[in-house]
Structure 1
């Protein structure tokens, strides 16, 4: 077996032994040793292979495969620009703490800087946005090098899962893998039916010096990822005037811990969309903060911000109010630089372990009851706003109410996450919204949703705006031999980025420039685009039509297009704010 083939096989063998089960591959020549090794693992049933032609979509597919289970998935590319196309997903994985393994083939050192084709400086390309970056030695003496390849695989797994140095935070890891010709397996060791000939040179059996270990044993036993300060952080004192803000958090376990702490302290909660809820979560909570006069008359004495708020400007405005003490609870996300305090108002910072405690629930405080009553009045008023047909919040509510139990709903960035918060007063316990808001970009949401759907047995949905959908339309480019999930993608189609209508750019004095440089309509026929990829698409124009469509889980991938009025968001927002103010008088 040639050295490049052996090196790729040993590396992937060790990653699979450690727990990698999903491998995404993009085609290329320099990555051929990795491609053959991944194909063999798929054929033997040790891992599942997904082949994609677009590296950016492939990386987000791997992110989706890893996101829900927090198990590292690997993405393989050839050299050159293919590697750079991984960067958007690397940033999202870094900020959202998603384990991701980047296996990038490279030219050997002697072919760099001399004008060789598809050669650039790949080591260090992702900078501080990876937990670990290693350039492995070019394979040339496998019996001597195999131990180092297996050690590198173990280091990559540990760093990606957060076990390295006990950080507790998952994230992306980059292994740069230079290979020399020959890049294809030797004829004598060609795999048939996914298995090597037992007598082939270099066969990975216990007697082969290239393995270094028995075939059924990992190279090294790794620690479980645990927060460095677990069990050592002091608890947070009770304050009956506390309002809790739950923003973006790395995992569902973090969110559950935050909700439990608020329940034990009887504190009202404003929570961004996500799984889990309880009776102290304020319906449309962020909208309540927009009633500035009512808030000024009922200010909290303390604001406890857990995680990173991302959905609007009302929470930062509250944090800046005089007389409100701001305390931040941080899980230590690398992307937040330690803690989230964009307003620079934090008076105290607590490690996440401070939320653990065995104190009994106190019941809702008088302050909480006041805020809960106001939120109830607001929610009742908003429920009676007249709405004909479907707009953004109504679409989110109909989807939320109509999906089967235990459904997962991936929310695209931009408007739709806000639509769910405004459209749904009391989230269902058996519906699990998931966001991709590490950086809140619209990149890769179709591929992320496909990856998540491929890892779970229950119904899976995605709610995306049309620009978010179109930005990753290559996510639908799936070959006939690839695994395809059951996934319904609901596209809120207002022909552009209507979120800008709700910001200062939507004011009348800016109307002339707004359409071209902000909302950027494309005029794309989504049905025709889907047909080109062999994906069925249906249009829902009424709540009843949408309810009927989402009540039946998809077989394969399908798209449900919901056309809405592109100019309705600003007026709807003004109507909502007026309704809230009137309800709280």
Structure 2
């Protein structure tokens, strides 16, 4: 590596940063082009040609940031994203915010003008050091940084939970002096990486090996070797307890519920919607009298999908225990929980009658929902849009397609909530990976995130992304992939109801706001997705029936393709009321009424 001296050139500084990133476990780097970042770009191209790093070039920094987020999520390694100076850096903020709230290790390498130009009005010069504020610590690096300091700074960025900004001041000649690419990149000595590993931190997980199993987060698939830590607090049996598993809860939530015999309400992206204790319709059952019998709640992960769950874990009348996630935050929106550092444990199972009641109600409610949807689909007079499948039925098909070794990336808004009602708990020990950007639960960057996750998990049998139309359109630049770039095998299912259907189920969807609703909430767009995909050279198919959707999702497809499923949003509010009514009937075991899906 180049000597660490005050007169190190811009290309030597850039090379030194990249070499330290490699030593810190970075194997994927996303680059957006620019002049100030030129020494990074040329060194990265040379490293990619040498097979030491995999380079992904994106012209849109916002898309680049979410691609890096997806790569970090899929590979469970730190991933770097490199930008030039100015507004390019600011475009990374949404991805950095999501990485902060989910503990994803995204290392922002922002090329900058030298400090002497700040505040002078020099072209593309701004206060970009620390631009992400509390969301990412910043290290403002200059050519004078000592070798040991650079090594320690970059290593911390690669191993810490969450994003970090390395703002690199590049001065003078930006192009490397070496005549060939072999001079622009040299793979560093691996002995240093081994020494750092032996010091205790693992670049693949970013955690000390001795404590990694104590954390609730992790791969949202199943890791059979994971056990409930013996050092966790021992919970007494007796109080009627429910385990709530939110996003990134991991297998520990399932193992606790199974050990105690408690009902498990697990969101699709929890990594715990698996096995015998998981309920399919748990959040709907929380709208019934069963919820009033709960005495204790154990919260693992980050639950975000429903008001009934939020109300449960915010109830001061209950004993609420919340376990810190990988970022050190325990989900406690009502500020009523007792916070635990690790997942608690139990000695033996609790009274089985408690779970049996939940399980029986869950089965009855699932049967009622499925029967109602079948009746509606078979009766054209009950469908508001001829030939249009129910969004719930579409979610059921997507959930059933998540077979062993499948990756599912699910978007925010209605798709993940539909899946939460329709996806039956998956069998254990089959290594599924179901994830979404639930840190802030936004629709930002989901196409790019899905592309990154697919590229980060190349051994998956297949990767499916399930997105709403606005989520898809919000990040169509995720399809903007150059001909020389790595391309994923990815099937994107777009549930297209021509707008924001989720708002119809909220207060603003009521008749009082009907005159304004369509313009300021529903936001219909009428976009031709087939033409959009054609413009991006992306395979496209419109799917009009559920059997074809199931068939398409079972196919082995090479490259990226989009399956558009058009549905109506006219009856979403009625549908929500229907689900609540069925939940009441399931708990009371009253099957005498007509349970077909009512439509306006």
- Give your verdict on TM over 0.5: yes
Deviations 1:427-466 (A, max 9, x none): 3544432121011010111001000101222210100000
Measured at CA, do residues 116 and 508 of structure 1 come closer, stay the same or move farther in structure 2, by a change above 3 Å? same
Measured at CA, do residues 295 and 204 of structure 1 come closer, stay the same or move farther in structure 2, by a change above 3 Å? closer
Residue 287 of structure 2 corresponds to residue 290 of structure 1: yes
Question: Shift in Å at residue 180 of structure 1?
Answer: 1.1
**TM-score (ref. length: structure 2):** 0.85
Residue 293 of structure 2 corresponds to residue 303 of structure 1: no
Residue in 2 that maps onto 1:328? 322
Measured at CA, do residues 96 and 578 of structure 1 come closer, stay the same or move farther in structure 2, by a change above 3 Å? same
Residue in 2 that maps onto 1:134? 139
Question: Shift in Å at residue 364 of structure 1?
Answer: 5.9
Secondary structure, counterpart of 2:376 in structure 1? coil
- State whether residues 535 and 559 of structure 1, in contact with CA within 8 Å, keep that contact through their aligned partners in structure 2: yes
Residue 259 of structure 2 corresponds to residue 264 of structure 1: yes
Residue in 2 that maps onto 1:190? 179
Identify which range, 303-312 or 398-407, moves more after superposition: 398-407
Q: Distance in 2 between matches of 1:573 and 1:99?
A: 37
**TM-score (ref. length: structure 1):** 0.87
Secondary structure, counterpart of 2:250 in structure 1? helix
Question: Shift in Å at residue 229 of structure 1?
Answer: 11
Question: Shift in Å at residue 396 of structure 1?
Answer: 1.4
Measured at CA, do residues 10 and 220 of structure 1 come closer, stay the same or move farther in structure 2, by a change above 3 Å? farther
Q: Distance in 1 between matches of 2:545 and 2:427?
A: 22
Q: How does 1:149-160 map to 2 (within 5 A)?
A: 149-159=150-160
Q: Distance in 1 between matches of 2:413 and 2:50?
A: 42
Measured at CA, do residues 449 and 491 of structure 1 come closer, stay the same or move farther in structure 2, by a change above 3 Å? same
Residue in 1 that maps onto 2:358? 371
Which of 192, 196, 208 lines up with 1:217 in the alignment? Answer: 192
Residue 68 of structure 2 corresponds to residue 67 of structure 1: no
Q: How does 1:454-533 map to 2 (within 5 A)?
A: 454-456=455-457, 457-458=459-460, 459-533=462-536
Q: How does 1:42-441 map to 2 (within 5 A)?
A: 42-130=48-136, 132-137=137-142, 139=143, 145-159=146-160, 170-186=161-177, 189-192=178-181, 195-196=182-183, 214=189, 216-218=191-193, 221=196, 222-224=199-201, 225-226=207-208, 227=211, 233-249=232-248, 254-274=249-269, 275-276=271-272, 277-291=274-288, 293-296=289-292, 299-319=293-313, 323-331=317-325, 333-334=327-328, 338-346=329-337, 348-352=338-342, 354-355=343-344, 357=345, 361-362=348-349, 365-385=352-372, 386-388=375-377, 389-429=388-428, 430=430, 431-441=432-442
Q: How many residues align?
A: 540
Identify which range, 32-41 or 426-435, moves more after superposition: 426-435
Residue in 1 that maps onto 2:445? 444
- State whether residues 247 and 306 of structure 1, in contact with CA within 8 Å, keep that contact through their aligned partners in structure 2: yes
Deviations 1:19-41 (A, max 9, x none): 11000000000001111111111
Residue in 1 that maps onto 2:16? 10
Q: How does 1:520-559 map to 2 (within 5 A)?
A: 520-559=523-562
Q: Distance in 2 between matches of 1:418 and 1:468?
A: 14
Question: Shift in Å at residue 220 of structure 1?
Answer: 5.7
- State whether residues 40 and 191 of structure 1, in contact with CA within 8 Å, keep that contact through their aligned partners in structure 2: no
Secondary structure, counterpart of 2:64 in structure 1? helix
In structure 2, stretches of 5+ residues that fail to align are 3-7, 202-206, 215-229, 378-387, 589-600
Q: Distance in 2 between matches of 1:567 and 1:64?
A: 33
Measured at CA, do residues 323 and 19 of structure 1 come closer, stay the same or move farther in structure 2, by a change above 3 Å? closer
